[in-house]
């Protein structure tokens, strides 16, 4: 379990502001971090090496950045000697089971402590509000790990159920779209819609095979957001290479490309649940946005081609 870094916390905090209505004024840690703890002081303070389990909400302006309702609770090891580095780790030793806390992280202070740099989602004068509710305390890492595993299994199952519901909704939209355009499509094994203009004549795309693909990706509105062909994007003329089944690409690619052989060309109509989901990606791909990819399978092989261009993050 890693300690939460300043930039990570500044990019992944959580909070409802209701706790601010609790009694008492805000205090400051040695590094200047503002915080307030709401406690009945009935439970003992945690000891070094124990683990707190807490729910959280991170908010800046009117936007919730992250919350345990979506991502599951967080776990942190108690370290009373935590470095005063403008980080919520400074206050965890003061929190008892059942306590709530509000932490205020000031953007201008983050800028000063990080060489004048701010995360993209923050502006000067912004304040990030982190609300914490401690729901359990574990004496050892093994106990905390076991609880985290059980908890995450529940959240993952919930996420899978939500993704399946979203996929069905997405496919209804995509099927209506291709029908309105008189486009003939096939369904890939997991449901991605595929328009095949040339199935190819070489080796079949399948699990464990390395595929190299030339592509252009666009939104349903026709906004091109990436391409291996257009010179205004990175790596023009270089196909994207990944292993089928190896999670090197979005699920819609892994699914839809299985209908092609080497040399195949076509178009993938990808439900958002098989693309970037409710998170979206960058400015062009909104949450729960279905995507269209024009693809050409230029290589199918058993091993990674020596000349392959792999780009971080997958497609």
The catalytic residue positions are 215, 225-226, 250, 276, 293
Q: Report which secondary-structure segment, H or E, holds 104.
A: strand 100-106
Q: Are the CB atoms for 31 and 104 separated by under 8 Å?
A: no
Q: Report which secondary-structure segment, H or E, holds 68.
A: helix 68-71
Q: Report which secondary-structure segment, H or E, holds 242.
A: strand 240-243
DSSP state of 281: B
**For residue 75, what are its two tokens?**
């776990």
| Alpha-helical regions (H) of 91-186 | 107-113, 141-180
Q: List the one residue out of 148, 135, 147 whose CA is nearest residue 52.
A: 135
- 């076509």: which residue's tokens? 266
Distance CA 292, CA 284 (A): 13
**For residue 180, what are its two tokens?**
């309105």
**For residue 92, what are its two tokens?**
């965890």
Rg (CA), the chain: 24
């Amino acid at each position: 379990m890693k300690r939460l870094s300043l930039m990570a916390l500044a990019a992944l905090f959580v909070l409802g502001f209701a706790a601010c209505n609790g009694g008492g004024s805000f205090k400051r840690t040695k590094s200047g971090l503002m915080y307030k703890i709401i406690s009945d002081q009935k439970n003992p303070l945690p000891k070094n090496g124990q683990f707190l389990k807490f729910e959280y909400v991170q908010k800046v302006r009117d936007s919730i950045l992250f919350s345990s309702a979506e991502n599951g609770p967080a776990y942190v090891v108690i370290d009373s000697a935590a470095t005063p580095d403008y980080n919520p780790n400074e206050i965890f030793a003061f929190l008892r089971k059942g306590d709530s806390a509000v932490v205020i992280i000031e953007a201008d202070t983050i800028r000063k402590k990080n060489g004048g740099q701010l995360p993209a989602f923050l502006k000067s004068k912004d304040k990030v509000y982190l609300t914490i509710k401690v729901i359990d305390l574990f004496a050892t890492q093994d106990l905390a790990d076991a609880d985290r595993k059980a908890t995450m299994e529940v959240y993952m199952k919930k996420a899978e159920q939500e993704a399946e519901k979203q996929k069905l909704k997405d496919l209804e939209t995509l099927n209506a779209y291709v029908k309105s355009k008189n486009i003939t499509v096939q369904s890939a094994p997991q449901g991605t819609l595929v328009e095949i203009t040339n199935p190819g004549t070489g080796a079949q795309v399948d699990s464990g095979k390395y595929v190299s693909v030339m592509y252009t990706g666009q939104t349903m509105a026709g906004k091109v957001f990436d391409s291996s062909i257009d010179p205004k994007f990175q790596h023009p003329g270089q196909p994207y290479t990944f292993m089928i089944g190896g999670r090197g690409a979005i699920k819609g690619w892994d699914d839809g490309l299985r209908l092609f052989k080497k040399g195949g060309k076509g178009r993938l109509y990808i439900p958002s649940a098989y693309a970037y989901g409710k998170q979206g990606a960058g400015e062009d791909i909104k949450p729960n946005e279905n995507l269209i990819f024009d693809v050409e399978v230029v290589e199918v092989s058993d091993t990674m081609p020596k000349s392959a261009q792999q780009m971080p993050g997958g497609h």
